[in-house]
Structure 1
Protein backbone atom coordinates (compact mmCIF):
# COMPACT_ATOMS: atom_id res chain seq x y z
CA UNK A 1 0.00 0.00 0.00
CA UNK A 2 1.16 3.53 -0.62
CA UNK A 3 0.48 6.41 1.74
CA UNK A 4 -0.15 10.03 0.81
CA UNK A 5 0.25 12.41 3.73
CA UNK A 6 -1.01 15.94 3.14
CA UNK A 7 1.42 17.85 5.37
CA UNK A 8 4.42 16.13 3.81
CA UNK A 9 3.21 16.01 0.22
CA UNK A 10 1.73 19.48 -0.26
CA UNK A 11 4.24 22.01 -1.53
CA UNK A 12 4.31 25.31 0.33
CA UNK A 13 2.02 27.86 -1.27
CA UNK A 14 -0.24 25.28 -2.93
CA UNK A 15 -4.01 25.38 -2.24
CA UNK A 16 -4.45 22.93 0.63
CA UNK A 17 -7.92 21.60 -0.23
CA UNK A 18 -7.20 21.28 -3.96
CA UNK A 19 -4.12 19.17 -3.24
CA UNK A 20 -6.01 17.02 -0.74
CA UNK A 21 -8.75 16.52 -3.35
CA UNK A 22 -6.13 15.40 -5.90
CA UNK A 23 -4.71 12.95 -3.37
CA UNK A 24 -8.13 11.56 -2.50
CA UNK A 25 -8.99 11.13 -6.19
CA UNK A 26 -6.20 8.57 -6.40
CA UNK A 27 -7.11 6.66 -3.24
CA UNK A 28 -9.32 3.75 -2.38
CA UNK A 29 -9.54 4.66 1.30
CA UNK A 30 -8.93 8.00 2.97
CA UNK A 31 -8.33 8.76 6.64
CA UNK A 32 -8.90 12.14 8.25
CA UNK A 33 -7.29 12.67 11.65
CA UNK A 34 -9.60 14.97 13.59
CA UNK A 35 -7.75 16.84 16.32
CA UNK A 36 -8.60 19.89 18.43
CA UNK A 37 -6.46 21.94 15.99
CA UNK A 38 -8.54 20.78 13.00
CA UNK A 39 -11.77 21.64 14.80
CA UNK A 40 -10.43 25.13 15.58
CA UNK A 41 -9.50 25.52 11.92
CA UNK A 42 -13.03 24.54 10.86
CA UNK A 43 -14.56 26.94 13.42
CA UNK A 44 -12.37 29.80 12.23
CA UNK A 45 -13.23 29.30 8.57
CA UNK A 46 -9.95 27.61 7.60
CA UNK A 47 -11.97 24.69 6.26
CA UNK A 48 -15.43 25.46 4.92
CA UNK A 49 -18.51 23.26 5.07
CA UNK A 50 -18.38 23.08 1.26
CA UNK A 51 -14.83 21.71 1.39
CA UNK A 52 -15.84 19.23 4.10
CA UNK A 53 -18.85 18.17 2.07
CA UNK A 54 -16.64 17.46 -0.94
CA UNK A 55 -14.25 15.40 1.19
CA UNK A 56 -17.09 13.48 2.83
CA UNK A 57 -18.72 12.63 -0.48
CA UNK A 58 -16.11 9.89 -0.80
CA UNK A 59 -17.51 6.49 0.13
CA UNK A 60 -14.45 5.35 2.03
CA UNK A 61 -13.31 8.39 3.96
CA UNK A 62 -12.81 7.37 7.57
CA UNK A 63 -12.54 9.95 10.35
CA UNK A 64 -10.24 9.14 13.25
CA UNK A 65 -10.92 11.30 16.32
CA UNK A 66 -7.84 12.05 18.42
CA UNK A 67 -8.14 14.21 21.50
CA UNK A 68 -11.76 15.05 20.67
CA UNK A 69 -15.11 13.29 20.98
CA UNK A 70 -17.62 12.77 18.22
CA UNK A 71 -20.00 14.99 20.22
CA UNK A 72 -17.43 17.81 19.98
CA UNK A 73 -16.97 17.12 16.28
CA UNK A 74 -20.75 17.24 15.67
CA UNK A 75 -21.00 20.56 17.51
CA UNK A 76 -18.50 22.10 15.08
CA UNK A 77 -19.36 20.15 11.92
CA UNK A 78 -22.49 18.00 11.77
CA UNK A 79 -21.30 16.67 8.37
CA UNK A 80 -18.02 15.39 9.75
CA UNK A 81 -19.50 14.23 13.05
CA UNK A 82 -22.17 12.15 11.34
CA UNK A 83 -19.58 9.93 9.64
CA UNK A 84 -18.93 6.51 11.17
CA UNK A 85 -15.30 6.42 12.26
CA UNK A 86 -12.74 5.52 14.87
CA UNK A 87 -11.55 7.17 18.06
CA UNK A 88 -8.26 6.95 19.93
CA UNK A 89 -10.29 7.61 23.08
CA UNK A 90 -12.16 4.32 22.60
CA UNK A 91 -9.59 2.09 20.88
CA UNK A 92 -5.84 1.72 21.15
CA UNK A 93 -3.72 2.76 18.17
CA UNK A 94 -2.98 -0.93 17.64
CA UNK A 95 -6.70 -1.76 17.42
CA UNK A 96 -7.32 1.19 15.08
CA UNK A 97 -4.45 0.05 12.84
CA UNK A 98 -5.88 -3.49 12.77
CA UNK A 99 -9.34 -2.22 11.80
CA UNK A 100 -7.89 -0.10 9.02
CA UNK A 101 -5.72 -3.01 7.80
CA UNK A 102 -8.80 -5.26 7.69
CA UNK A 103 -10.65 -2.69 5.61
CA UNK A 104 -7.72 -2.30 3.20
CA UNK A 105 -7.54 -6.07 2.75
CA UNK A 106 -11.15 -6.19 1.47
Structure 2
Protein backbone atom coordinates (compact mmCIF):
# COMPACT_ATOMS: atom_id res chain seq x y z
CA UNK A 1 0.00 0.00 0.00
CA UNK A 2 1.35 3.37 -1.06
CA UNK A 3 2.17 5.69 1.70
CA UNK A 4 0.22 8.99 2.11
CA UNK A 5 2.17 12.08 1.13
CA UNK A 6 0.93 15.20 2.85
CA UNK A 7 3.06 17.50 0.70
CA UNK A 8 1.75 15.99 -2.53
CA UNK A 9 -1.80 16.33 -1.24
CA UNK A 10 -1.27 19.96 -0.38
CA UNK A 11 0.30 20.61 -3.77
CA UNK A 12 -2.67 19.10 -5.57
CA UNK A 13 -5.07 21.02 -3.34
CA UNK A 14 -3.38 24.29 -4.14
CA UNK A 15 -3.44 23.44 -7.86
CA UNK A 16 -7.16 22.67 -7.70
CA UNK A 17 -7.83 25.96 -5.88
CA UNK A 18 -5.83 27.87 -8.50
CA UNK A 19 -7.74 26.17 -11.35
CA UNK A 20 -11.01 26.94 -9.63
CA UNK A 21 -10.02 30.59 -9.14
CA UNK A 22 -9.07 30.90 -12.82
CA UNK A 23 -12.39 29.41 -13.85
CA UNK A 24 -14.26 31.79 -11.51
CA UNK A 25 -12.37 34.82 -12.87
CA UNK A 26 -13.04 33.73 -16.44
CA UNK A 27 -16.74 33.23 -15.69
CA UNK A 28 -16.89 36.60 -13.93
CA UNK A 29 -15.20 38.35 -16.88
CA UNK A 30 -17.56 36.65 -19.31
CA UNK A 31 -20.55 37.72 -17.21
CA UNK A 32 -19.24 41.30 -17.07
CA UNK A 33 -18.72 41.38 -20.85
CA UNK A 34 -22.23 40.05 -21.42
CA UNK A 35 -23.67 42.60 -19.01
CA UNK A 36 -21.82 45.43 -20.77
CA UNK A 37 -23.08 44.17 -24.14
CA UNK A 38 -26.66 44.04 -22.88
CA UNK A 39 -26.33 47.50 -21.28
CA UNK A 40 -24.94 48.95 -24.53
CA UNK A 41 -27.79 47.37 -26.53
CA UNK A 42 -30.35 48.68 -24.02
CA UNK A 43 -28.78 52.17 -24.18
CA UNK A 44 -28.94 52.12 -27.97
CA UNK A 45 -32.63 51.16 -27.87
CA UNK A 46 -33.32 53.86 -25.27
CA UNK A 47 -31.48 56.48 -27.35
CA UNK A 48 -33.33 55.43 -30.50
CA UNK A 49 -36.66 55.61 -28.66
CA UNK A 50 -35.73 59.00 -27.19
CA UNK A 51 -34.92 60.28 -30.68
CA UNK A 52 -38.33 59.09 -31.91
CA UNK A 53 -40.06 60.73 -28.95
CA UNK A 54 -38.13 63.98 -29.49
CA UNK A 55 -38.95 63.98 -33.20
CA UNK A 56 -42.63 63.35 -32.42
CA UNK A 57 -42.65 66.09 -29.79
CA UNK A 58 -40.99 68.53 -32.19
CA UNK A 59 -43.61 67.73 -34.84
CA UNK A 60 -46.46 68.16 -32.36
CA UNK A 61 -44.99 71.46 -31.13
CA UNK A 62 -44.35 72.72 -34.68
CA UNK A 63 -47.87 71.75 -35.79
CA UNK A 64 -49.30 73.47 -32.74
CA UNK A 65 -47.20 76.57 -33.34
CA UNK A 66 -48.28 76.69 -36.99
CA UNK A 67 -51.93 76.34 -35.97
CA UNK A 68 -51.47 79.09 -33.37
CA UNK A 69 -49.75 81.32 -35.95
CA UNK A 70 -52.56 80.75 -38.46
CA UNK A 71 -55.17 81.47 -35.80
CA UNK A 72 -53.30 84.62 -34.74
CA UNK A 73 -53.04 85.81 -38.35
CA UNK A 74 -56.77 85.25 -38.85
CA UNK A 75 -57.50 87.00 -35.55
CA UNK A 76 -55.19 89.88 -36.47
CA UNK A 77 -56.84 90.21 -39.89
CA UNK A 78 -60.30 90.13 -38.30
CA UNK A 79 -59.30 92.64 -35.64
CA UNK A 80 -57.80 94.90 -38.30
CA UNK A 81 -61.03 94.79 -40.31
CA UNK A 82 -63.03 95.60 -37.18
CA UNK A 83 -60.68 98.45 -36.22
CA UNK A 84 -60.67 99.78 -39.78
CA UNK A 85 -64.47 99.73 -39.80
CA UNK A 86 -64.63 101.47 -36.40
CA UNK A 87 -62.09 104.08 -37.53
CA UNK A 88 -63.96 104.57 -40.79
CA UNK A 89 -67.20 105.16 -38.90
CA UNK A 90 -65.47 107.51 -36.46
CA UNK A 91 -63.99 109.48 -39.34
CA UNK A 92 -67.36 109.58 -41.10
CA UNK A 93 -69.08 110.70 -37.89
CA UNK A 94 -66.49 113.43 -37.30
CA UNK A 95 -66.78 114.87 -40.80
CA UNK A 96 -69.27 117.64 -41.44
CA UNK A 97 -72.28 116.31 -43.24
CA UNK A 98 -72.85 117.61 -46.74
CA UNK A 99 -76.32 119.01 -47.22
CA UNK A 100 -77.81 116.93 -50.04
CA UNK A 101 -80.04 118.85 -52.40
CA UNK A 102 -81.21 117.15 -55.57
CA UNK A 103 -82.31 118.79 -58.75
CA UNK A 104 -85.63 117.46 -60.05
CA UNK A 105 -83.76 115.34 -62.60
CA UNK A 106 -81.41 113.98 -59.92
CA UNK A 107 -84.36 113.21 -57.64
CA UNK A 108 -85.84 111.19 -60.50
CA UNK A 109 -82.61 109.18 -60.66
CA UNK A 110 -82.64 108.63 -56.89
CA UNK A 111 -86.24 107.42 -57.00
CA UNK A 112 -85.38 105.03 -59.84
CA UNK A 113 -82.40 103.67 -57.92
CA UNK A 114 -84.52 103.16 -54.80
CA UNK A 115 -87.15 101.29 -56.81
CA UNK A 116 -84.59 99.09 -58.55
CA UNK A 117 -82.42 98.14 -55.56
CA UNK A 118 -82.44 94.35 -55.07
CA UNK A 119 -84.11 92.87 -52.03
CA UNK A 120 -81.72 91.32 -49.52
CA UNK A 121 -78.11 91.98 -48.67
CA UNK A 122 -75.31 92.09 -51.23
CA UNK A 123 -71.60 91.93 -50.57
CA UNK A 124 -70.97 95.37 -52.09
CA UNK A 125 -73.10 98.50 -52.34
CA UNK A 126 -71.53 99.71 -55.58
CA UNK A 127 -69.47 98.43 -58.49
CA UNK A 128 -67.32 101.25 -59.84
CA UNK A 129 -66.49 101.23 -63.56
CA UNK A 130 -63.96 103.73 -64.91
CA UNK A 131 -61.12 104.16 -67.40
CA UNK A 132 -57.75 104.28 -65.67
CA UNK A 133 -56.10 106.47 -68.28
CA UNK A 134 -58.02 109.61 -67.25
CA UNK A 135 -60.51 108.48 -64.60
CA UNK A 136 -58.34 107.00 -61.87
CA UNK A 137 -57.72 110.20 -59.91
CA UNK A 138 -61.37 111.30 -59.78
CA UNK A 139 -62.40 107.69 -59.02
CA UNK A 140 -59.91 107.58 -56.13
CA UNK A 141 -61.47 110.72 -54.69
CA UNK A 142 -65.01 109.47 -55.25
CA UNK A 143 -64.17 106.05 -53.77
CA UNK A 144 -62.71 107.72 -50.69
CA UNK A 145 -65.79 109.90 -50.28
CA UNK A 146 -68.22 107.00 -50.69
CA UNK A 147 -66.39 104.67 -48.28
CA UNK A 148 -66.11 107.45 -45.69
CA UNK A 149 -69.91 107.65 -45.81
CA UNK A 150 -70.23 103.95 -45.03
CA UNK A 151 -70.60 102.41 -48.50
CA UNK A 152 -68.77 99.29 -49.64
CA UNK A 153 -67.47 100.05 -53.14
CA UNK A 154 -65.96 97.38 -55.42
CA UNK A 155 -63.18 98.67 -57.65
CA UNK A 156 -60.44 96.79 -59.42
CA UNK A 157 -57.49 98.51 -57.71
CA UNK A 158 -58.70 97.46 -54.27
CA UNK A 159 -60.38 94.13 -55.01
CA UNK A 160 -58.39 92.44 -57.79
CA UNK A 161 -56.24 89.55 -56.54
CA UNK A 162 -53.17 88.47 -58.52
CA UNK A 163 -53.13 84.97 -59.93
CA UNK A 164 -56.90 84.78 -60.42
CA UNK A 165 -58.98 85.28 -63.54
CA UNK A 166 -59.55 89.00 -64.13
CA UNK A 167 -62.79 88.35 -66.03
CA UNK A 168 -64.14 86.11 -63.27
CA UNK A 169 -63.28 88.64 -60.56
CA UNK A 170 -64.99 91.40 -62.52
CA UNK A 171 -68.06 89.20 -63.00
CA UNK A 172 -68.19 88.45 -59.27
CA UNK A 173 -67.90 92.13 -58.43
CA UNK A 174 -70.68 92.99 -60.86
CA UNK A 175 -72.89 90.19 -59.56
CA UNK A 176 -72.39 90.99 -55.87
CA UNK A 177 -72.97 94.74 -56.11
CA UNK A 178 -76.34 96.31 -55.38
CA UNK A 179 -75.83 99.07 -57.92
CA UNK A 180 -73.32 100.35 -60.44
CA UNK A 181 -71.54 103.65 -60.78
CA UNK A 182 -69.95 104.64 -64.12
CA UNK A 183 -67.32 107.39 -64.12
CA UNK A 184 -67.65 108.70 -67.67
CA UNK A 185 -64.50 110.40 -69.01
CA UNK A 186 -63.17 111.04 -72.53
CA UNK A 187 -61.16 107.79 -72.43
CA UNK A 188 -64.23 105.86 -71.26
CA UNK A 189 -66.29 107.22 -74.14
CA UNK A 190 -63.49 106.33 -76.55
CA UNK A 191 -64.43 102.71 -75.94
CA UNK A 192 -62.15 100.21 -74.26
CA UNK A 193 -62.68 96.45 -73.97
CA UNK A 194 -63.03 96.19 -70.17
CA UNK A 195 -65.11 99.31 -69.70
CA UNK A 196 -67.50 98.28 -72.48
CA UNK A 197 -67.78 94.83 -70.93
CA UNK A 198 -68.49 96.28 -67.47
CA UNK A 199 -70.98 98.81 -68.79
CA UNK A 200 -72.84 96.11 -70.73
CA UNK A 201 -73.29 94.13 -67.52
CA UNK A 202 -74.21 97.19 -65.46
CA UNK A 203 -76.90 98.28 -67.88
CA UNK A 204 -78.74 95.04 -67.10
CA UNK A 205 -78.96 96.02 -63.42
CA UNK A 206 -81.26 99.01 -63.97
CA UNK A 207 -79.31 100.66 -61.15
CA UNK A 208 -76.60 102.54 -63.07
CA UNK A 209 -75.49 105.91 -61.69
CA UNK A 210 -73.48 107.94 -64.23
CA UNK A 211 -70.87 110.42 -62.99
CA UNK A 212 -69.59 112.72 -65.73
CA UNK A 213 -66.05 114.09 -65.58
CA UNK A 214 -64.71 116.35 -68.33
CA UNK A 215 -67.51 115.24 -70.67
CA UNK A 216 -71.05 116.45 -71.34
CA UNK A 217 -74.32 114.62 -71.71
CA UNK A 218 -74.14 115.43 -75.41
CA UNK A 219 -70.82 113.54 -75.53
CA UNK A 220 -72.37 110.67 -73.61
CA UNK A 221 -75.34 110.50 -75.96
CA UNK A 222 -73.01 110.11 -78.93
CA UNK A 223 -71.36 107.18 -77.13
CA UNK A 224 -74.59 105.53 -75.94
CA UNK A 225 -78.11 106.65 -76.69
CA UNK A 226 -79.27 104.76 -73.61
CA UNK A 227 -76.84 106.52 -71.28
CA UNK A 228 -77.57 109.84 -72.94
CA UNK A 229 -81.18 109.57 -71.81
CA UNK A 230 -80.18 108.89 -68.23
CA UNK A 231 -79.75 111.43 -65.48
CA UNK A 232 -76.41 111.53 -63.68
CA UNK A 233 -74.06 113.68 -61.68
CA UNK A 234 -71.47 115.99 -63.18
CA UNK A 235 -68.21 117.09 -61.55
CA UNK A 236 -68.61 120.39 -63.42
CA UNK A 237 -71.75 121.06 -61.38
CA UNK A 238 -70.96 119.50 -57.98
CA UNK A 239 -67.85 118.72 -55.99
CA UNK A 240 -66.82 115.08 -55.55
CA UNK A 241 -67.81 115.36 -51.89
CA UNK A 242 -71.31 116.51 -52.87
CA UNK A 243 -71.65 113.80 -55.51
CA UNK A 244 -70.54 111.12 -53.00
CA UNK A 245 -73.12 112.39 -50.51
CA UNK A 246 -75.88 112.30 -53.15
CA UNK A 247 -74.98 108.77 -54.24
CA UNK A 248 -74.80 107.57 -50.62
CA UNK A 249 -78.22 109.07 -49.96
CA UNK A 250 -79.58 107.42 -53.09
CA UNK A 251 -78.51 103.99 -51.88
CA UNK A 252 -80.07 104.32 -48.43
CA UNK A 253 -83.36 102.48 -48.19
CA UNK A 254 -85.92 105.18 -47.43
CA UNK A 255 -87.92 102.65 -45.42
CA UNK A 256 -84.91 101.71 -43.26
**TM-score, normalised relative to structure 2:** 0.35
Aligned residue for 1:84, secondary structure, equals: coil
Alignment map for 1:7-22 (pairs within 5 Å)? 7-11=157-161, 14-15=166-167, 19-22=169-172
Tell me the equivalent position of 2:182: 32
In the alignment, the residues of structure 1 paired with residue 170 and residue 166 of structure 2 have an alpha-carbon distance, to the nearest angstrom, of: 10
Aligned residue for 1:68, secondary structure, equals: coil
In the alignment, the residues of structure 2 paired with residue 58 and residue 10 of structure 1 have an alpha-carbon distance, to the nearest angstrom, of: 22
Q: RMSD between aligned alpha carbons?
A: 2.5
2:182–2:199 CA contact under 8 A, matched in 1: no
Change in 2 beyond 3 A, CA 1:4/1:48: closer
Given candidates 206, 214, 221, the residue that maps to 1:59 is: 206
Q: Which has the larger radius of gyration?
A: 2
Change in 2 beyond 3 A, CA 1:48/1:60: closer
Change in 2 beyond 3 A, CA 1:96/1:48: closer
2:210–2:233 CA contact under 8 A, matched in 1: yes
Q: Identify unmatched segments of 5+ residues in structure 1.
A: none
**Farther off after superposition, 68-77 or 22-31:** 22-31
Aligned residue for 2:230, secondary structure, equals: coil
Q: How many residues align?
A: 101
Alignment map for 1:65-84 (pairs within 5 Å)? 65-84=212-231
Change in 2 beyond 3 A, CA 1:48/1:61: closer
Change in 2 beyond 3 A, CA 1:102/1:47: same
In the alignment, the residues of structure 2 paired with residue 5 and residue 66 of structure 1 have an alpha-carbon distance, to the nearest angstrom, of: 18
Aligned residue for 2:211, secondary structure, equals: strand
Tell me the equivalent position of 1:101: 248
2:188–2:195 CA contact under 8 A, matched in 1: no
